[in-house]
Chains A and B, each alone.
Chain A
Amino acid sequence: MEDQKKDTVKMTGSAAVMESFVREGVDLIFGYPGGAIMPVYDALYSYREKINHILVRHEQGAVHAAQGYARASGRVGVCLVTSGPAATNAVTGIADAMIDSTPVVVICGQVGSTLLGSDAFQEVDVVGVTQPVTKWNYQITRAEEIPWAIARAFYIARTGRPGPVLLDITKDAQFGSLDYIYKPETFVRSYTPYPSVDPGLVEEAAMLINLSSRPMALVGQGVVLAGAEKELIEFLDKTGIPAAQTLLGLSAIPSKHPLNVGGLGMHGNYGPNVMVNQSDLVIAIGMRFDDRVTADPKRYATSARVIHMEIDPAEINKIIHADVPLLGDVKESLPMLTGKVSKNDHSKWLEEFRACDRVEYKRLVEREIYPDKPEITMAEVVRRVSEAYDDDAIMVTDVGQHQMISWRYFKFKQSRSVITSGGLGTMGFGLPAAIGAKLAMPGRPVCLFVGDGGFQMTIQELGTIYQSAVPVKIVLLNNNFLGMVRQWQELFFDHRYAHTSLINPDFQTIAKGYHVPAVKVTRREELDKAVKKMVSTDGPFLLEVAVEKEGNVFPMVPAGASVDEIILE
């Protein structure tokens, strides 16, 4: 007790927030000031040499930027916002981070504790509102709680299955003073972030793998979150098992890896979708059988045993029954499994995937990337940009047709190169997320693909790009439509285009207003030159391409169908 007293320093709650950030290694936060968070902003002013603050234009943008930062770097993204409307604006980003397992800590201001529950100015029950969309949240009403709560917030956000944590700090707690001492959190008794791997189940899984003649790996973001890319490749290389990836799992395996068989799900590749119902053993690695992956789960992996390698017990048997539920961190369980499996070769089975690839190329890919019509396709733009970056950029997307096309046609050499809103499908995610990704990884090119609909949901973040000089490359694939909804209207609602046509502003003028250099391409022959210009420009750039107005994303697994009923055109 004596010793402890010696180590403490008297400071305000607000200073304690900053000091705790420094102790957690935070050097960048995204935020927007306002009444109830002003004491913390005042403390930030004193810490401005240690902590950089990016002033966004809307709190949703702050959270998406923090998500982009976290997804690109693996570090915890941090946001600072005020109470009431600021906190509710942040909710969309928090929900997105929750469903996509992104480590984010959101600090929001709250009215003074004596005013709680009195409908005070800018008061919202933020803890109540965010309860279902946070991994943990907590309201701090006394300055002494701040170091404990922040230590716990960071620990919970980044460990186990990561997720967003929100701390709601009343204004009096920010103003109050405390004897500060910081102890990083290492244990919460009601929380088991890393369930221990059962060696018996590893044996069982290895036996199934050794006996299987048609095994298939489904790789999810869990591999990336665990930093187990190397362990995955070792497992795949030893067993020779073809590996497909989910939307968020993409880039965990390099595009050119010989066992990479492409993307799963609604707009994934033909091979992995069809073959999952031919497979006799599905090894799900850090993925959760999202409904966009499985389509009709009753007709998914119909002839396969299932090994589910997963860190979150709540995912086991949630959608697809696991014959071997292999709980634990895949960074730990994959090497155990690799140690137990025999060296194998499945080239004949792999060839069946390649045959599907050839069908997909012939019937679809070829005409998408080398179209014989005058209209520019999204796919050809994506492929040109990917090539211009030597297939080694961080690809950020918004949500919609362009997202699926970018995901299908962009190529990757290293992990953490796909940043997209998967689970929540949040339009407006892209632009701020790209800002965060670029600030996290200044040494890597960051290229955003965005549609004309989603762009306008967070377009004000161009102001952030200008003010903070963030060199994000923006490729706007403009078809003057809410394209994905229009596609569904065309296919499933008898061409009744209810409110999907957009009369857009002149994006070139908007970019000019924000001092972002921009080029617009309307003809194919201008494309290469424009892409080159974007790549060679220092700083931010907007490349707008007028793409085919009513292009559709294929392949497609229609809603309610089985994955093997995927249609190619």
Chain B
Amino acid sequence: MGEVVGIPRALLYYHYYPMWKAFFEALGQDVVTSGKTTRAILDAGAKVTVDEACLPVKVFHGHVLALVGKCDYIFVPRLVSVERRAFICPKFMGLPDMIRCNCRDIPTIVDSCINLSRTTREYVGAVYSTGRMFTGSVLKILAAHNRARAALARYTRRLESGMTPDEAMAVMGLASPCDEPVRTAVAAALSSSSFSSSFSSSSSWSSLSSSSLSSPPASGAAGALRGGPGRGAGRVVVGLVGHPYVIYDPFVSMNVVRRLREMGVSVVTSDMLPAAITEREAARFPKRVFWTIGRRLLGAGFHFLRSGTVHGCLHMRAFACGPESLIGEVLEREAARSRDVPFATITVDEHTGEAGVLTRLEAFVDVMTRRRKP
């Protein structure tokens, strides 16, 4: 039969796309995504949402609109919670409702409600009812779910080896044809020294225990990833803290990862750190942070600021992001206390100009480079 499910390339696409794609394809559906974020997509989204909405939510609306006419279903999951006693953000909890009210005449919305905050029962129900939209067979749903989980595990390992989502998806063969530049970028990165060193260390990731986390580093990013001192000779390493849908969206972030790499800097993002490290570091805050991504950012920020593995910590956030307004404050205070690692915050919104961001990145790289010299 092969109907088409559209997945907007926004928000937690960057965390879960391989899983979602595997799930729907195992159920016999074709999967399309919207293209990369463009000015037109952002403008379309900003037009239908209220002014106060944050940039990523506006971008998401734009991607939904971009999928109209290209698919029979649009996957807009209600991601309430992906772990016990924690949420993602209130806006994720109301996302399908916002889409329904703001976007008229769009394909059927598949709004699976993922809520693992209390029990797994709701999650099982959500997977089942989503599967039932496409097949009558429970076994098929189960198999699709297993394949989806396996895809997610493979993808997460790639991220933790130092790849960005685009690179990881390209390596996994998930990139759409329009992503050809990414493939070449990956090939180039794989051949460059620092990247291959971080990449080759990835095979041992799954077996890393907490004791080996402090083992002597290779160099650059790989060291920072392991949690050991990585700032020796070699490249400048920057720890980049930010929501995945901000820092990995080339349009929203003004291509921050690529820009930094082009300036000769190795980039370690919060998603490249193993959960063990971010959880341990986030526990330094007196209260458990009840946003999953927020806690990861806090833990990553603390790690970058305290462990001596990076030469600078850059926080990139979207204007009006609720969790980050508080997380950023805590990180800033930590940075001011330790005074060891330069810290900068860049806030992006729909009016941000590339030149302004670039100037700040260059200045920050200068600071890091100068600080390194004795």
- Chain B associates with chain A: no
